[in-house]
Structure 1
Amino acid sequence: MSSRVPNIERPVLGGVVAILLTGCADSGLSELASYAERVMARSPRSLDPTPVIRQVDRFVYRAGDRRDPFVMDDQAAEHAAEQAVKVAQESRPSGLSPDPLRPKEPLEDYPLAALRMVGTLEQYGTRWALITSPEGTLHRVREGQHLGRNNGRITRIEPTELMLTEVVEKQPGQWARRRASLALNQ
Structure 2
Amino acid sequence: MNELQDFVQDVKERRPAPLEPVPQMKQIDNFIYEDDGRRSPFEMDEQSVDAITPESAGDSGLAPDPLRRKEVLEQYSLDSLRMVGTLDQNDTIWGLITSPDGILHRVTVGNYMGRNYGVVTSINQQGIQLTELVNEGLNEWVERQASIKLSE
Matched ranges for 1:32-71 at <5 A: 66-67=32-33
For residue 69 of structure 2, the aligned residue among 85, 88, 103 is 103
Residue of structure 1 in register with 2:47 after alignment: 83
Structure 1 equivalent of residue 104 of structure 2:
138
| TM-score normalised by L of structure 2 | 0.70
Name the one with the larger helix percent.
1
Could you say which structure has the larger radius of gyration? Answer: 1
Shift of residue 115, structure 1, vs aligned partner: 0.3
Please tell me whether residue 178 in structure 1 is matched to residue 144 in structure 2.
Answer: yes
The answer as to 2:129 corresponding to 1:166 is no
Q: Does 1:93 align with 2:93?
A: no
The question of 1:154 aligning with 2:120 is answered yes
Change (3 A) 1:182 1:169: same
Deviation (angstroms), 1:135: 0.8
Structure 1 residues 79, 131: CA separation in 2 closer, same or farther (over 3 Å shift)?
A: closer
**1:119 corresponding residue in structure 2:** 85
Give % identity.
44
RMSD between aligned residues = 2.5
Give the superposition deviation at 1:173. Answer: 1.6
* Deviation readout 1:98-149 (Å, 9 max, x if unpaired): 1111111110001100000000001100000000001111001110000000
Name the SS for the 1:143 alignment partner: coil
- Which stretches in structure 2 are left out of the alignment for 5+ residues? 1-26
Whole-angstrom CA distance in 2 between matches of 1:79 and 1:110? 31
Bigger relative CO (Cα 8 Å, ≥ 6 apart): 2
Matching residue's letter, 1:171? G
Return the alpha-carbon distance in structure 1 between the equivalents of residues 34 and 110 of structure 2. 41
- Give the TM-score taking structure 1 as reference length: 0.58
| Aligned residue-pair number | 120
Looking at structure 1, the residues matched to 99 and 63 of structure 2 have their Cα atoms a distance apart, in angstroms, of 26
